[in-house]
Amino acid sequence: MRLEEIEAIMLNVGLVVFAGAIFFIIYDLAKKSNAGRFGTIILFFALGLGLAAFLVKTIVVELMEGGGI
């Protein structure tokens, strides 16, 4: 296995861990602020959009460079 393949795998693993950490932080924020069901949904939607934009940017850059996903 070449270094480039290891880097690509670790990038994907790192992004999954990062996304999990972000979702945990949003959940913890909703729980500590007693946001309720609707407030929790709003928090996940609003703060999750930032994470979604980051992930979409990564995918678009990969596609523009000509590599497959």
Per-residue pLDDT, 67: 65
Neighbours of 35 (CB within 10 A): 15
The string of pLDDT tens digits covering residues 32-63 is 999 999 999 999 999 889 888 888 888 898 88
User: What are all long-range contacts of 10-18, with beta carbons under 8 Å and residues at least 24 apart?
Assistant: 15/55, 15/58
Output the furthest CA–CA distance in the chain (Å, rounded): 48
Query: What are the tens digits of pLDDT across the range 2-13?
Result: 998 899 899 889
Q: What is the enclosing helix (H) or strand (E) of 33?
A: none
Task: Supply the pLDDT for residue 68.
Answer: 59
Q: What is the dihedral of CA 12, 64, 47, 37, to 10 degrees?
A: -80
pTM for this entry? 0.69
Give domain limits for the chain.
3-64
Please say if the pLDDT value at position 17 is more than 90.
yes
